Chains A and B, each alone.
Chain A
Amino acid sequence: MEILMAVLAGILFTTGIYNLLQKQLLRIIIGTGLISHGAHLFILTMGELKRGAPPILTEGVEGYTDPLPQALILTSIVISFGVTSLLLVLAYRAAQVNGTDNMEQLRGNDYE
């Protein structure tokens, strides 16, 4: 199972990076979304999967799943939400002001 999840995380990274390398802002944002999904899965795989009960202390239960990756991921989900929404609005604004969302056209040419 861990191997499968590692491969899945890798594929999410691959598609995310490929999107990130495109020129259109929307694709880049989708890329960052995929990368953060991949990263969450990646962190989860670090602990042991599917062993023990959910980490909510209950009478009579001995083994629990590793709570630490979950805590890290929870933080990360919220932060990546913030990043994604900021990027989206930034793209919206950039497209409004400049009339394009193509990164190659958005680059400044002053210093070349």
Chain B
Amino acid sequence: MIWAVFLPFILAVFIPFFDKWRQRIHTGFIVTVAPILIFIYFARFIGTNFEPITRSYSWIPSLDINLVFHLDGLSLLFVLLISGIGALVAFYSIYYLDKSEQLGHFYVYFLLFMGSMLGVVLSDNVFVLYSFWEFTSLSSFLLIGFWNFKKESRYGALKSMLITVFGGLSLLGALVFMTILTDTTSIQEMISQHQLILNSEYFPIILTLLLLGAFTKSAQFPFHIWLPDAMEAPTPVSAYLHSATMVKAGIYLIARYSPMMSSNDWFFIIVSSVGIVTLCWGSYMAVRQTDLKGILAFSTISQLGMIMSMLGFGTKVAVFAAVFHILNHATFKGSLFMVAGIVDHETGTRDIRKLGGLMTFLPITATLALFGTFSMAGVPLPFLNGFYSKELFFDATLHLDEIANMGLVGFVKATLPYLAVFGSIFTFVYSMYFFFGTFRGKAHLDSLPKKPHEAPIGMLISPIVLVLGVIVIGLFPNMVNEPFIAHAASAIKGMEVEKHVSFWHGPLYPPLIMSITVLVFGTVLYLARKQWAPAYRFIPGVLSMNKVYDGAVDRLETYSTSITKGYMNGSLGRYVRLVLSAILIVTFAFMAVTGGFTMDFSNLAPLSLPEILVAITMVIAAVATILTNNRITAILILGVVGYGLSMLFVLFRAPDLALTQLIIETVTVALFLLVFYHLPKLRKKEEATSTRVLNLIISIGFGALMTMIAISSHSSKWFDSISSYFLEKSHSLGGGDNVVNVILVDFRGLDTLFEIVVLGIAAMAIYGLIKLPGKKEDN
């Protein structure tokens, strides 16, 4: 199973090589192979006697982070959607994207997304899940910004990234909480210990964080605003990520955790009401859109809201309907996105005001759109899968038997059926608007950038497959139920869920009456849409989440720029001062808090005159470097300090050091004397007194700190020295008697080798700086 998840990643690595032959073979053909293989691999698990399987591979066992893949009914549904729709979209993209586009980039992002999405739905380890989760946000960002020369693409990409990553971080918070509470990183084990989490005092925080993660990813109100802007992506991407798969990751998360959470009242209240509000808002807003993909974007938001609210209900019917609708939505919405892509491709515009009457020019596309839109609208016809799940949805809103009638819960429960019908009416309106606005009515051929004609057959295959899915599921709904949908629903509900779906329940079946209400009111509102369009001036009117988002991003940028400019003014001296002050404050504070400073004078070497004299000389010389304004003087007295140090090395029985120091000091002084002539003369101090005082404070503070650390480390012997090892083994292991040399060339020989490398690099740089001719400045 690990190969199935990593196949897209592995293929992504090789895409750049295939990209070289793009003139002969479109990269898309190679990419299409991967999802087909994955689909075939997983399709064999479909069947009535399916049992969940788990595979684990060690990754970071010490942190309990391992690649554990758990395939149950829910994962299987998503895996098949991801690979199935993925294959169709990859195939469709071959005809959609011209060979002159940056195909290599596109397909690398595409495969990255596919792999990470598979990872999300298969991971049982929460941290692996989180990593894949963020990876989907990242690849979505890259895909939305694929046409990065367009300003709108960049804006949309950034917006989706900011919102979904914000949600991702919330999710991480929730996962960390749950991991700590249950002491496991496995989702299945967390669910089995759900009492620990439900009864914890942190439960409200966990629920909020988890839902934030799911709502942002699945574009629920009020976080839906990123999805319409994400439509700047190439249409195959919109069909794949922003309709069929990635936006359903939030749904998946809620579904995955609902065995744990669904018994909680707040889970019901929040998820149901956010879902149903999203349903209404999305479908209401969709009618206002003029861009075909804009309609589909809001429609996706609204459909996601519907699925979300059903997961919130948590009843058997609702969960079953939710899972069923995930599948149905992927089929009809995927085909509609492809239809929108075809219309865009063949006419040059997606503006529904310019379109119309395309039925005669694109008959096949129009037929596909007819099935897609009518299924989406939930028109009661026995060959449209959308109707079944829509009817089950109505049924679910009426049969919330497991939910109490009291208080807020009761209020939410009572309003749900009305809101469901209300939202569905607008769903009907925008579906009709999409179809009739594009394909019926009068054609305005002169206002179209291109002369429309039917799409090439390759482009039509994928939507045809999806529409066939719509029809087949519509005709034989129970064919997919038992071997497939029921397993997914059982995985969510934690018990057997089976539902026999049938088309006809008699004329007085309440959900049917709701469907007919939708049909009637929807038709009226569609015909009269010009009359009620002014309503948009009041709702949403000037209130818009987009404005909140734009304002927040603007503020953030302004403030962070001004803060950064405040301390990053280009003066290196200032940066050094800041860094040193930070070190001083942190270290002194740490010393004070932990009582790290210790003094122990019991074990000292005796003072003797030569050392004291040398030390005094060095101090005088060091201070003199500051006071002198003569270049030669400064260099020579720096030499004095160096020679003093080598004297100390002699006195402290370090002959090698003394020799090295003497040589190096001599060479350094010589080098200084060679170079100084070319440097400007030292000047009098020209800084303000305040700066000088500050410099003095920082330097004295730092000197004091080093002295204190030296004294403390001498006074406290916490660990045994490892030096005795070198003294003992120097002869036997290193074959030398000079222990210092043996350490350098034998025990730590690699260090010395790299030291030589560093010196070599420095030598080359020096040579280059001296010898290479100076370039004229470009500006």
Contacts and interface: CB of A to CB of B under 8 A. Distances in A.
Interface of A: 1-27, 30, 33-34, 37-38, 40-42, 44-58, 64-68, 70-71, 73-75, 77-79, 81-86, 88-93, 95-97, 100-104, 107-109, 111-112
Contact of A68 (B675, B723, B762): B723
Given A41-B648, A54-B653, A78-B759, A23 B615 contact: no
A101 B688 CA distance: 19
Interface in B705-731: 705-707, 709-711, 713-714, 721-723, 726-727, 730-731
B657 A70 contact: yes
B618 interface: yes
B626 interface: yes
B607 interface: yes
5 closest A-B pairs by beta carbon, nearest first, are: A14-B703, A10-B707, A6-B710, A17-B699, A1-B605
B576 A20 contact: yes
A33 B638 contact: yes
Interface of B: 565, 569-573, 576-577, 580, 601, 603-608, 611-612, 615, 618-619, 622-623, 625-626, 631, 634-635, 638, 641-642, 645, 648-649, 651-657, 660-661, 664, 667-668, 671-672, 675-676, 678-680, 682-683, 686-687, 695-696, 698-700, 702-707, 709-711, 713-714, 721-723, 726-727, 730-731, 737-740, 743-744, 748, 751-752, 755, 758-759, 762-763, 765-766, 769-770, 774
B638 A30 contact: yes
Contacts of A26: 631, 634, 676, 679, 682
B615 A4 contact: yes
Contacts of B622: 11-12, 15-16, 34
9 contacts: A15-B626, A20-B576, A57-B731, A73-B657, A74-B657, A81-B667, A82-B763, A83-B762, A107-B572
Contact of A55 (B679, B739, B758, B774): B739
Interface of B (DSSP majority class) = helix
Given A12-B703, A56-B738, A79-B755, 9 more contacts: A2-B605, A4-B607, A15-B626, A53-B653, A55-B738, A57-B737, A88-B675, A89-B765, A107-B571
B660 A104 contact: no
A14 B703 CA distance: 5
Nearest to B731: A57
Contacts of A9: 706-707, 710
B664 A95 contact: no
Given A1-B606, A64-B727, A68-B722, A75 B653 contact: no
Contacts of A53: 653
A10 B573 CA distance: 21
Contacts of B748: 71
A18 B682 CA distance: 15
A81 B668 contact: yes
